[in-house]
Amino acid sequence: MMGSADRFLIVNADDFGRSETVNAGVTDAFRRGILTSTSIVATGTAFESAVALAGQNPGLGIGIHLVLDRQHEPALPPSEIQSLVTSNGKFRSRRKQFGKMAVDPRTRDDVFREWDAQISKVLAAGIQLDHIDGHGHCHAHPRVASVVVALAERYGIGHVRLPVEATTWRPERVSASRFANKLVLNSFALCSRHLWDGKLSFPRSFYGFSDGGHLTESVIRRVGQAAPAGVSELMVHVGTSNLDPALLESRYDWEGDLRSVTAFSRAAFEEEFGVQLVTYTGRRKSGALAQPQPTKVIKSTG
C-alpha cells in the first residue's frame, strides 16, 4: 500500500441534475466506484430526479453547482437580474459573462440575488449542502468572491472549492489553450482565496481541470499516487451517454469519466494508494467521520 493515513481525497462529480444521464452516472459512480460527492444544478432539467436520487443514496456529499452562463437557465425572472442576461432573458456565454462581471460593478448584486435563489431552491427541496462550487468555476471570479462568503454565512455552508490545479501537474494530453485557461483560472481563484481565507474551508490540492471531461484510469492512478498529505479534490464529469443533447456542447467524454472512476472500488482504491475517500465534511459512505477533518485547517463559518 502506498501513502499514509493522513491523505484524503474528495471525488466530486459536477452537474448533478443537469440531465437524466448525468444523474444516472453520478449514482452509478457512487455505488460502484470512488465517487464520494456531487454538486447539484438548481435549474437543471433533471433537478427533481436528482433530489429523489439524493435521498436514495445516503452518504453522498452534495454541494451547490452555481451557474451563470448560457448552458443553464436563471432561477430568477430576467427582469430581476438585468446585468446578467441578454435581451432574450438568457445568460451570456461564459466568456462574455466573465468579461461583464469584471467591468460592471452592478453584476455583484445581481449575482447575489440569483445565487441566493439557486441555493434557496435546493435547500427548499430538502437537500443539505456541504460545499459551494460553480459551473466554469464562476464562483471563483474575484468580482463575486465576497458573494460566496456572504451566501455561505447566510446558509451555514462552511466549505468551498478552490480550483487551483498546480502548474506542474501535466496530464497525459492538454492543449496549449487549456493550459493557458488554467493559468487564468489559477490567478482568479488565488485572488478569491484572499477573501475566503479564515472564513471558508477548502481542500489544499485540486485535480481535474487539465483532464476535465477526459479522464482515464491512468489519470486516476496518478492522482492516487500524487495526492499530498491533507485533503485533495478530484473534479469529474460522469454520465451514461455522450449523445445526450444536453451535454453535446461540452465536448466532454462523460462515459469515459464514468469508466475511469468505476475502474476501482472504494476499498481497492484506498488499499492500493493509502488515500481515504471522503466528502467535504469528512463523511465516508458508511456515515462515519474520517479523521482529521478533510479540509484546510482554517476557521469555518459552517
Dump pLDDT digits (tens) for 98-144.
999 999 999 999 999 999 999 999 999 999 999 999 999 999 999 99
Q: Give the dihedral sign, CA 88/90/96/100.
A: positive
Radius of gyration of the chain (CA): 18
Give φ, ψ of 135 to 5 degrees.
-70, 125
DSSP state for residue 159 in the 8-state scheme? B
CB 297, CB 200: distance < 8 Å? no
pLDDT 10s digits, 42-69: 999 999 999 999 999 999 999 999 999 9
What three-state secondary structure class fits 231?
strand
| Cβ(29)–Cβ(21) below 8 Å | no
290 within some domain: no
**E strand spans, 73-143:** 132-134
Rounded CA gap, 50 and 128, in Å? Answer: 13
Residue 6 C-alpha cell reads as: 493522513
Look at residues 207, 279, 263 and name the one whose alpha carbon lies nearest to residue 236: 207
Residue 166 placed within a domain: yes
Pairing of strands 132-134, 205-207: unpaired
**Please, are residues 238 and 32 in contact by the beta-carbon 8 Å criterion?**
no
**How far is C-alpha 87 from the chain's CA centre?**
30
- Residue 245 domain-assigned? yes
Helical segments of the chain, H only: 20-32, 47-56, 94-103, 106-124, 145-155, 176-196, 217-226, 254-261, 266-273
Would 93 be classed as within a structural domain?
yes
pLDDT reported for residue 296: 39
Number of domains in the chain: 1
pTM score, whole prediction = 0.91
Question: H or E segment at 48?
Answer: helix 47-56
Q: Is residue 41 part of a domain?
A: yes
CA dihedral of 186, 192, 196, 202, whole degrees rounded to 10: -20
CA distance 122 to 108: 21
What is the percentage of the chain residues whose pLDDT exceeds 90?
Answer: 82
Q: How confident is the model at residue 21 (pLDDT cuts 50, 70, 90)?
A: very high
- pLDDT given for residue 4 in this prediction: 53
pLDDT of res. 172: 61
Q: Is residue 234 part of a domain?
A: yes
Domain CATH for 169: 3.20.20.370
- pLDDT per residue over 155-190, tens digit each? 999 999 999 999 888 766 677 888 898 999 999 999
Mean of pLDDT values over 270-295: 69
Q: Please tell me the predicted confidence (pLDDT) of residue 5.
A: 63
- Residue 284: inside a domain: no
For 175, list phi and psi in degrees, rounded to 5: -80, 160
How far apart are the C-alpha atoms of 144 and 138, rounded to whole Å?
8
Task: Find out whether 165 and 179 touch, Cβ atoms under 8 Å.
Answer: no
C-alpha cell at 93: 456565454
- Res 179: pLDDT: 86
Distance CA 302, CA 29 (A): 28
**Structure confidence at residue 291 (pLDDT):** 40
> What residues make up the domain containing 67?
7-277
Please say if the pLDDT value at position 2 is more than 60.
Answer: no
Over residues 275-296, the mean pLDDT reads 62
Tell whether 157 is covered by a domain. Answer: yes
